[in-house]
Structure 1
């Protein structure tokens, strides 16, 4: 794989140092044997599995830059666990979901991972591409626990245990740029702005925009920001001066709202498209709301929560009943999808009488056409590839359930078809 850079800078360097420390701290508990034992029903078990329970971990962001996403993902997964348990559980065992909030802080994320690792069979949630990438050597080398992250960096591909659900950020961005060219009037010779987070997420998305721009004859104007940067005034000014005809943003919801709001206020009225992590419908209630509805779109690895599918309709009704005071957003879709994928792998592993980590991962490899009910079919048979290359283009719209409507159904652009993540 060529995605990991030879030189690791900034946050990546800090994360690598922290991983080394946590690995050293865990060396005294190095695995001795495979930990397998035969439990109830003649099923092999290991970490996180007893005769009565199956324990999953959730490493989320409830207080940081992705707090809105983290809350929705977590509540959707708690709802899934509650419903599965009410129906009798899986393999005669009740599911348990242990949640830790890392607040998008690298030290807290790695500490939480280390704490939960011996207690869970795997992770149904791990928010933050840089953090997942940081623990990847441990996951692949000694822990071997299945991780279904809410992160889509191509650097996570290739691991037999960390499985990306949906298009990676580079592929997603290629599809997003195709939307700008095909439907928003960008043409060869135009300049395309790209505002992106430093680190794994943003730089992987930037790779995608450069690839798509090269195919379309566009020039990319880069603006790198930090997750703590919330005011996009300087970036808008720079892009306006450069004369960009469209903008891609690979950041968080707050940064997207600031970018679009400032651009509209200062006369930079060009189409803006974001990655799937760069929108939350709660933003429609802010001052930036009207501008978001007029000049913002984002790419998504699934149909929105308000989609016209049986799964979506049932999930909306169940989520509203469980959390009546909370808004609907696509974090619910991401959380439910990951939980249901993990649940299906557990069911298949149970059928093979092997609920060890190895058994669960082996079961996942057999899921080559899994439909979570949101417009995408996931192929989980190849760890080197994302489960799908399709994207959906969504526009904010406060008049529809969930504040989002589909303007371009699942598609793969020609540039994305031939691209190698």
Structure 2
């Protein structure tokens, strides 16, 4: 795999060193926890790590206090709601689901340490936020632990593993579809320049690969602006892209960076439309000074329809979420968390039918799911670990009057460029 899909060398080296230390400290515990792997219960169902005759434990490595705090809270609460409803209906395979939640605050040390702590205790992970952190444990997941991990991360570097399974399109494919929207719907044409503001590391560099591919296909020129997750003021980036004369901008960063960029762009009259990847927006931003600019000139590429979409499944989830968390904001993190939990749940149900609730059994069960619809406009195919579960992208627009703060401006679509793109190539 090319270096553009990897975390930066410094970050990768630090995470690898940390993983080696934490893995060494817990190796005996991990070995002991797997002694019952494959032993059948009274009903003939094979069980292993994280599974008893009464419970199935799943890990959650989230961000409640860092750069993706709003996303992490919504994803986690949605998964807790899924577990609550599933357990109320009798659980899965006669067992109650239990989530073991750890907040890593988007800190590398906490993320890797959290994985090392929980892995020996759980069947798998229903959530793991942070492409660099998931990439850091990928070798251990594939070679030693072999428990299903569903990341809240969409980097192409995570593909190829039978155990780490990306839901929706990867950042490169999503960005290709985002550029297609700028071309088809916002008037960009051959010869134009597009700006790309992106986080250093796995997320941003994977998105950049997609932007460059789409630009090459369409005859555009990409003007790059690399930033760090700690960079919150986008004044310099706006100035540079305005000077370059860009006609559109892609943002592969967090909600704070997107709000700053769009707000500053409006102030200096940079009229170019701006579109962000799926993790570059939070509806809480609509209540800030950047709110009016976001509703006027900002778009979001999403793997699914928004939480406020007009469907029976969406309305049911909104009602249940409001009842469970009356003071919590509704956003697309609710959709992402619910979808990931329900996908894991479907794999557990199929594994139960096959009488194999071991890590291997659950992994094999997921490989049989080829047309899963979580109720939000996208059909997912998990039969090929080398591919994302979908190449379709929904284009959303902030709307303070919509439930969840987003409305659909273009339904799920796979562009011609996204169809021809070799993911991870």
- TM-score bracket, normalised by the shorter chain, equals over 0.9
Greater alpha carbon shift after TM alignment, 253-262 vs 23-32: 23-32
Alignment of structure 1 residues 16-415 onto 2, 5 Å: 16-29=16-29, 31=31, 35-415=37-417
Instruction: Tell whether the 8 Å contact from 1:263 to 1:269 is kept in structure 2 after alignment.
Output: yes
CA RMSD of aligned residues (A): 1.4
In 2, the alpha carbon distance for the partners of 1:46 and 1:249 equals 43
Task: Return the offset for 1:400.
Answer: 1.2
Instruction: Tell whether the 8 Å contact from 1:3 to 1:155 is kept in structure 2 after alignment.
Output: no
Instruction: Tell whether the 8 Å contact from 1:3 to 1:154 is kept in structure 2 after alignment.
Output: no
SS at match of 1:220: strand
In 2, the alpha carbon distance for the partners of 1:26 and 1:401 equals 45
Question: How many residues get paired?
Answer: 421
In 2, the alpha carbon distance for the partners of 1:58 and 1:412 equals 31
In 1, the alpha carbon distance for the partners of 2:398 and 2:15 equals 35
Cα distance, 1:16–1:4 mapped onto 2, change above 3 Å: farther
Q: Which runs of 5+ in 2 are unaligned?
A: none
Task: Return the offset for 1:40.
Answer: 3.9
Q: Which runs of 5+ in 1 are unaligned?
A: none
In 2, the alpha carbon distance for the partners of 1:88 and 1:40 equals 18
Task: Return the offset for 1:28.
Answer: 3.6
SS at match of 1:185: coil
Task: Return the offset for 1:39.
Answer: 1.8
In 2, the alpha carbon distance for the partners of 1:21 and 1:362 equals 31
In 1, the alpha carbon distance for the partners of 2:84 and 2:175 equals 35
CA deviation map 1:368-389 (0-9, x unaligned): 1111111011000000000000
In 2, the alpha carbon distance for the partners of 1:292 and 1:195 equals 16
**Runs of 4 or more above 3 Å deviation:** 1-8, 26-34
SS at match of 1:152: coil
CA deviation map 1:48-95 (0-9, x unaligned): 000000000100000000000000000000000000000110011000
CA deviation map 1:239-295 (0-9, x unaligned): 111111110000000110000001001111210000000001111000000000000
Cα distance, 1:9–1:2 mapped onto 2, change above 3 Å: closer
In 1, the alpha carbon distance for the partners of 2:28 and 2:4 equals 29
Instruction: Tell whether the 8 Å contact from 2:159 to 2:387 is kept in structure 1 after alignment.
Output: yes
Cα distance, 1:4–1:292 mapped onto 2, change above 3 Å: closer
In 1, the alpha carbon distance for the partners of 2:7 and 2:265 equals 34
CA deviation map 1:217-244 (0-9, x unaligned): 1110111111111111111111111111
Greater alpha carbon shift after TM alignment, 9-18 vs 115-124: 9-18
Cα distance, 1:262–1:226 mapped onto 2, change above 3 Å: same
SS at match of 2:187: coil
In 1, the alpha carbon distance for the partners of 2:141 and 2:192 equals 43
